[in-house]
Every structure is written in structure tokens, then in C-alpha cells.
Structure 1
Amino acid sequence: MEEQKFIEYIERQLLPKGSSFTEEQKQVIFSEGSANIIAGPGSGKTTVLIAKFAYLLQVVTTGRGICIITHTNVAVDEIRTQLKRVGINNIVYPHFIGTIHEFFNYFFSYKAYQALFTEKTPALLEEDDYTERFKIKFEHYRTDNYRGRAPISKMKSSYLVFTQDNKITLMSDCHYSNERIVLNSLVDIISNGEIRHNDTLSLAKWYIEKHIEQIRLAFSSRFAWVILDEAQDTSIIQFDLLNQIINLNEINFQRYGDPYQSLYNMYDHNSIDAWVPYEEKGMFDSIELSNSTRFGNSIAKILKTTCIEEYSSFNGNPEVNSFKPHLLIYNDKSDVIPTYLSLVNELYSRNESFKRSKRKIAVVGSEHAHLKQYKQSYDKPQNVKIRTESIIRLLYNIIVKGFYSSLKSNRLTQQISLKDLKALLSSELIELKSNIALILKEVINNNGVYSDVNTELLIAVFNEVIKHFCPTETVELNYADMVALVTKESQSTFQTYTSSESSKKELISNEELFFGTVHAVKGETHKATLLIDSSITEFKFTPDEVTYNLVDLIFEYLTGDHIDYMSTGFDRGLQQATKKALKISYVALSRPTHLVCVAVEGKILGDNLKYIVDKSSKFGWEIKII
């Protein structure tokens, strides 16, 4: 299939009727070799990535595999669903699609654990469960010299280090007074078969360094392409390990993402980003997707300079009639939300597509505490994304329990426990776990009810589990009990859960507003977004502690001037705070299709009020003093 025929086919399958890929999108789809794909907000990155995969699979066909690594299960599901639209229904060996955690676990971490702790199968704990386990162990190992609380935040950012001479040390910011207690606690937990995501990376690092040459050869033999999605969310450790195992002379390594949306380590003390494309010029080509389809030029104009680097090539969609941005200058925080809602209602009469849009009307802040100041009834949400993950986890556990119960009752397993089965589905049978996730997506969309098709898929997955335990014999089972247990309990759990969640959301839905932190809204699209002013503190709990106002930090950037904040005129605290403020603002202000608002307290502006009003107006902002 030649390129033009392929593009015409893929456009019919993936794009709205009458739409076509832009020249820059086609450049990415047909690009060869390793590259950084810098994709601006709303530039169609995911669709381009799927078209790229289809092109490599259906046209290029090297005989080796394609490895796609994402950061969330939602992204994996979306890619698999979209691939079905272009006729790619099954992704099998030598290809791989999974989250970055699944990638390291499947290829390295579980193998490392078996080598280091030979008599146990690891179970990956949820963060809350692991934290509770750590608190218990910390009390067990506590010494008389340390009387403080268990350092939970320090524990979460720490990593075990497995040395090649079989020692275990700790990489952390823990104080010397509790570092040994933390290390002993973490070693105790992992030795008993319970691990967290940080441990999986520590294990993978040990395994890769021990077998680096064999791994690079095996990886090059299996994969011709590695595509990393949302590269800006990759940690330094993850990025370093990927670079170690990928031989660029043998494998094409393309990284897709927006380096200006990197929030992963924003609150780390060093705040170093792992993926910095401009530092790799000469080693990696950079290809830009710089035309947004999400919003018009009135919003794109702000983002060109409200960014950690000037983004002069970025453009909006001339077919989207976005409003002028609005600066709300207030004296009383309680007036901000009513003014914002009033503005939205006023603009409904001017733009029918804005009025009809089902997207969120959002209020975004850097932290939950700042949001509470604007809405006393605001309750720290679990976020739709997290709620979805929660119900998926509940329904997934029901399936695994159903499988386990049937295996036990039919005497197909003897020594294996429920925890062992879960661990197996996260390691050797990880493809089945992905299939279960796809089933659950359909079940959730169907209000917890299993359709006949999903029931058949459930049985098919269970048959694959049975084959793992009985690979040499044919097993005939009556699936009715397993299916009845799973479907009945799933529907009951879904109804109970969604009833509970809907009551939690009443306060926000009554006002048609969504309140969320910048981390919660990353990846979303709104129809209107209000960025509230907030504080950014550097060098916390030290004599050098200093606090800045977010809007004060970014005002010049909001009005068209990109100042080099890394210059000698900025001290270290101001440099770090400005970089954080620009990241927060860029993510927040790139969410809406139609309306951007920024709120700032009048007294923060002080004697600069007239200057700010004049400069903002000249740049195209509407000013509301309330």
C-alpha cells in the first residue's frame, strides 16, 4: 500500500468526515529514524501516533516488533480501541503495547525479584496499602534516638539500590536520624514479597545493569521501533533505563509529548526534567506538531510566551472562535466564582458552540488548599480519572476472585494463593490483564452489566488462565458458577459505588463547575478554564524559605514577553518558582476550547495596577475589576 492510499484510508477510519491530516502530521506519520515529536496541546498527537503504528505495521513491515509505551491504562485502552478502527484487532508477539510500569515489570522487574528473592512471588501493592505497611514496619525498627513521625513523603520519593555484590542501600532525601530505619523497613517489606512502583524500577535497574549486553542484543532482535508516548511524564530513572537498553544503531526510538507540560517532578527539590529535546539537538531530530485544533489564536497567542521556553511556532485553530482572555482583578475571593459564572452565562449568548459544548467549566489551582479558599464547600475530589481507576480496580478484583474460586473448586491449583494469581496476571500473564481491562471498560460503559459478548470474552480469558495451569491437557468446565459470581457481584458493586460517588459530586454539579488541581486536569479539554492565583514556596522549612505569587511571576509572560528566567538577574529561588509557575499556567491555560480566565488579587498588584491593566488591554485581555 503506497503512502497516499494509506493516508486516504486512515483518514476515513480515524478522522471526522471531510477532515484530513495536515502536512506536519503526515511528516510525523512517515518519519524515519529516531526523533523527538514535540506535540503542542490539541495538536492530534494520539491520532497521529495510532496512524504511525498502523503505517509501520501495514506498510513498512520489517519483521521485527513495534513497542509502544504509555503512562496510563486509559491511554493503552484508547490506543487499542482506535487500532481496531483501522482493522488491527490483535497486538501479539513480537509487538508490545503497555504502560511504562507494565513494560519494566514484564521484561525486567519480576525476573530480578525471582533472582534476588528466590522463594517468593512479588505482589504489587496500591500506594495506600504500602504506606500503611511502611508505618507498621517503621514502628518496629524505630530506635530510641528518633522520636518523630514516619517520614511518609521521603519514603515515597526514595529508592532501594541493589548492588552487584548483593548489598541493598537507600537513595533518598531522608535525614540521617531516620535513614537506617527507613531502609530496614523497606527491605523488610520487599523481602516478604510486597513491592511498590519505585521498587520495580530498582529491581529493573539491577537486572539491566547485570545483563546489559544480552538485553541490548535481545531487544534489538525483537523490536525495530520503540515509541514512548507522553515522554514528558517519564521519570529520570525510567528515561535512563530506556536509553540504556535501546541501541540507536538498531532501533528507531521516537518520543512523543509536550516538554512544556512536564509536571512529573515539579515539586522535587532539584526539579530536573528527564526529557529535554533542545538538549538532544544533533543526536535526535525534532519534529513539531505545532498547530492546535482545540482552540483559536486568542488562546494560542498567550501560550506562545507563557511557557518555560518561548513557543513562537505554536498556532491556534482559525476555525475555533475562542473569546478574548479575561483577567479578573478582585478584592474579595468570594466574588471570583460568581463573576466567572456570570461571564460564562453572558458569553453563551454570543457563541452557540460554546453554549452547546458538554465540556467542563473548570476552576484550576496549583494545590487543593488554594482551591478551598475560593469555594468553602469545595471538597478535595478523587477526580474522575482516579474514580474510574477505583471502580476498575474493584471490578478487576471481582474477576480475579471469580477465577480463583473456580480454579480451586475444580482442583486446578494446589499451592497457589489469590495473591499469587494476582501477581501472575501482572507478570507472566500480563496480556490477559490488558484483555480484562478492555472488558471492564465496556462493562463500566454498560453500567456494570456484562453483555453476552463480554461474557464470552471473560470465558476466553479464563480459558487462557486454565491453559497456564494445565498446558498439556484439555479441561472441560462448567463456567456458569464463575460467570454468575462475577456478573452478579460486579453489577451490585457498580450500583453501590456509583450511587455513593454521585452524592459526593452534588455540590459541584449543582453549580456546573469542576474544581481541580493542575495535575488533575492535565490531558483534559474544557470549554472554559479559570486559573486562580496561588502561592509558590521555595526552600520550605529552611531559613531561606521564600514565597511568591503565581500571577505576579507570570504576568509579563501572559502579555507577550518571554523573559529569560534562568539569567543571572534571577536568584535560584526566583528561577525555580518562575519555572513552576510557567508549567502550571501552560497546562491550565491550554485546557479550554473557548474561554481563558485568570484571577489575581488587587493588593498583589499594588502600584503596578495601572501598568498591568494598560499592558494587558493592549495585548488583547479583557479586564474585569471586581
Structure 2
Amino acid sequence: MIELVDNDIDELLLVLNQNRATPLVLDPSRRQALCGNHDVQACPGSGKTTMVGLKLLCFIRKWSAPRRGICVLTHTNIARDEILKCLSGHPSGFALRSYPHFIGTIQEFVNTFVALPALRSKGMTVTQIDDDHCVDRLERMALPGTKTYLANRHASISELRYRWEHNSLILKTPAFQMPSQSASYTNLLAIKARLQAEGSFFYSEMYAYAQESLFHNPQLADALRYRFPVVLIDEMQDVQGFQDELVSAIFDHVDVHYQRFGDPDQSIFDGVGGELPNISYNSADMQPIVESHRYCPAIAGQLCGLSSRNADSDEAAPLFRDDCAP
């Protein structure tokens, strides 16, 4: 396990600041975030992406394992691209773009390393992973009577998907709590089987199949931890509960440098699609990054009172302080 210390940061800054008109200067809270692995709350304008990029560059400058890599997970493609853009400014950053390292969304990671291999081992073909496509196909295949039945019970055909519950892979059938001999229930089973035969899956189903694979093959998690001894997660505030459950089951381990970055005050995806939000991060105690470069003092003073994390308390009041203020 590679440990980062202040000297690693100083050496990197010495290189990066050679061509910068305004040198990068890191305060103690940012240095602590770079050297530690505690959860970090980074307010708007705190330079979170830059900080993640600096940490990755510090790691890669000391990296020597040819078949073990750094894993960086994000919630969106935009965040992934921002990190890659940040790394492109330094020659060492290009090493992180390829094997054995991985920088991508949580969905990409789950698909690539767990769900797709699990489905192929079952003899199943995956041609498309997309919620809108699955709903459209199910609606086209469903019989009129099935659609009427669901509408009368205020149920959506989008709920017809596999989930991992109580250590079992279960097909959830909308409007039905248990198996039935009815025509609508039989039709739902038939169109779901046809959809899977076409190779089409919901995004969340990939997590269900991944959970099943990890449950029946516990050595898989050990292998992933060995492959990726360093794991950083960006935009953690928007990671949904089922995503957090899977990633934490794999990487929240003593053998992994596991660190999460985000800001619960900026969470916008909690409860999307009826899914539960994560609570392991959004409800946790964490160290805030106390300075923002984005807001003037007047705006910062108004924003601090809006924090759901009680950032306007005496201890957390500096969270929105503008260190560039005159």
C-alpha cells in the first residue's frame, strides 16, 4: 500500500508550478485530504476535481505495480471527463488512462468487471443496457389487457426488472405481490423473457446480477481489491443506495485505500426513479474543505445558512469562506 506524505505533495507542486503564473498552494485541510483516506465534503468552488487530480498524480509518480491499478469512479460521464482533462496537463497523467488503471463511471465499472462476465457465464447475450429502450420494448410487447391491468393499479411496466433482495435474484412484477395464474401476470413473464432474449437490460439490473455474482463467488471481491488497492469516488453525494451497497461491499476494506469526495448539499439524484439514496456518505461525518474560490464574501455569507449539513454552525462556518476575498 502506497502512503502519501507532505513531501510527495511538495515535490509534485514544485513540478506543476514551474509553468504556472499563479502557483498552486494547498492549505492544511486539502493536504490532509490528499494524504488521508477519510470522506471529504468539498463545497462549490473548492477545487475538488483539481484535488482529486493532484492525488492521482501523487500516486502515479510512486506507482510500480505493473498489474495492479488505481480505480477512479464517478457518477457521471461529465465528472469522468473533467478528471481526465485535469490529468492531461501532466505527462504522468497519461499512464492513468490505460491498463492496469481504470477511470470511469460506477456503471461502467460494474458492467465491465462484474455484471457482463456474470451474464456471459450464464450464456446470456447483452446487446443494450438502457432504461428507455427497455421500457419502450416492454410497452410494445405487452398485451392491451396487461396495460389496462397495470393502469388500473397505478403500476408502471418499468418496474418489471430483476433485483437483488434477501440474497436472491428476484423478478419484480408490477401490480403483483406473488405469482399468479392470471393472463396479465403470464404476459409480463413472457415479455420479460423475450426482452432478455433480445439482450436488453435495465441499468439497475446490472447491479443485481453483479450482486448475485459476488454473493456466489466471494473470491471475486478479493480479486478486485487486489487489482485495485486504491479507489477514489467522485460525486459521491449522487451515488444511489444500490450503487453504494455494491461498491462498498467490494472496496470498503482494510486492504484498500478507499476515499470518497462530494458534497451532500449538492445532491440532486436522491430518490430518482424511486431508488433510495445512499446514506453511508450523505449522512456521515466528514472533513469539509473549508475554502471556496468561487463566491465573494456577500454570496458566501448567504449560502452558508442553506447548508443541510449545518455548515452555518460555529465549527463549520468557514465552509463557504472565500479565501480570495480582499
The TM-score, its normalising length taken from structure 2, stands at 0.80
- 2:225 matched to 1:223? no
Question: What does residue 27 of structure 2 align with?
Answer: 22
Of structures 1 and 2, the one with the larger relative CO (CA 8 A, separation 6+) is 2
Q: Percent identity?
A: 22
Question: What does residue 49 of structure 1 align with?
Answer: 52
In structure 1, distance between residues paired with 2:258 and 2:214: 18
Quick one: which of 39, 45, 55 aligns to 1:36?
A: 39
Question: What does residue 68 of structure 1 align with?
Answer: 72
Q: Mark the structure with the bigger radius of gyration.
A: 1
Structure 1 segment 486-497 matched on structure 2, within 5 A: none
Aligned partner letter, 1:264: F
Aligned partner letter, 2:305: T
- 2:321 matched to 1:316? yes
Aligned partner letter, 1:205: Q
Structure 1 segment 238-249 matched on structure 2, within 5 A: 238-246=243-251, 248-249=253-254
1:183–1:226 CA distance, 2 compared to 1 (3 A): farther
Aligned partner letter, 2:76: T
Query: What SS does the corresponding residue of 2:255 show, helix, strand or coil?
Result: coil
CA contact (8 A) 2:127 2:200 kept: yes
Cα shift at 1:227: 0.4
1:310–1:134 CA distance, 2 compared to 1 (3 A): same
Quick one: which of 88, 94, 97 aligns to 1:89?
A: 94
**Residue deviations 1:360-396 (CA, integer Å, cap 9, x gap):** xxxxxxxxxxxxxxxxxxxxxxxxxxxxxxxxxxxxx
In structure 2, distance between residues paired with 1:113 and 1:140: 31
1:133–1:27 CA distance, 2 compared to 1 (3 A): same
Question: What does residue 180 of structure 2 align with?
Answer: none
Aligned partner letter, 2:224: F
In structure 2, distance between residues paired with 1:114 and 1:229: 29
In structure 1, distance between residues paired with 2:18 and 2:77: 27
CA contact (8 A) 1:232 1:275 kept: no
Aligned partner letter, 1:104: V
Aligned partner letter, 1:242: V
Cα shift at 1:180: 7.0
Quick one: which of 189, 197, 205 aligns to 2:203?
A: 197
CA contact (8 A) 1:141 1:184 kept: no
Structure 1 segment 106-125 matched on structure 2, within 5 A: 106-116=112-122, 118=123, 120-125=124-129
- 2:256 matched to 1:254? no
Backbone CA RMSD of aligned residues: 3.3
Cα shift at 1:22: 2.9
- 2:105 matched to 1:99? yes
1:36–1:147 CA distance, 2 compared to 1 (3 A): closer
CA contact (8 A) 1:11 1:19 kept: yes
CA contact (8 A) 1:297 1:316 kept: yes
Question: What does residue 303 of structure 1 align with?
Answer: 303
In structure 1, distance between residues paired with 2:194 and 2:138: 9
Cα shift at 1:141: 7.8
**Residue deviations 1:134-164 (CA, integer Å, cap 9, x gap):** 20122278288x2627978x44466413689
Query: What SS does the corresponding residue of 1:42 show, helix, strand or coil?
Result: coil
| Count, aligned residues | 306
Question: What does residue 181 of structure 2 align with?
Answer: none
CA contact (8 A) 1:70 1:228 kept: yes
In structure 1, distance between residues paired with 2:321 and 2:79: 25
Task: Decide which moves more: 158-167 or 95-104.
Answer: 158-167
1:259–1:182 CA distance, 2 compared to 1 (3 A): farther
CA contact (8 A) 2:169 2:209 kept: no
In structure 2, distance between residues paired with 1:141 and 1:121: 30
Question: What does residue 4 of structure 2 align with?
Answer: none
Question: What does residue 161 of structure 1 align with?
Answer: 163
Aligned partner letter, 1:84: S
Quick one: which of 53, 59, 64 aligns to 2:62?
A: 59
Aligned partner letter, 1:81: K
Query: What SS does the corresponding residue of 1:35 show, helix, strand or coil?
Result: coil
Quick one: which of 250, 259, 268 aligns to 1:263?
A: 268
CA contact (8 A) 2:238 2:268 kept: yes
Query: What SS does the corresponding residue of 1:274 show, helix, strand or coil?
Result: coil
In structure 1, distance between residues paired with 2:244 and 2:195: 26
Question: What does residue 290 of structure 2 align with?
Answer: 290
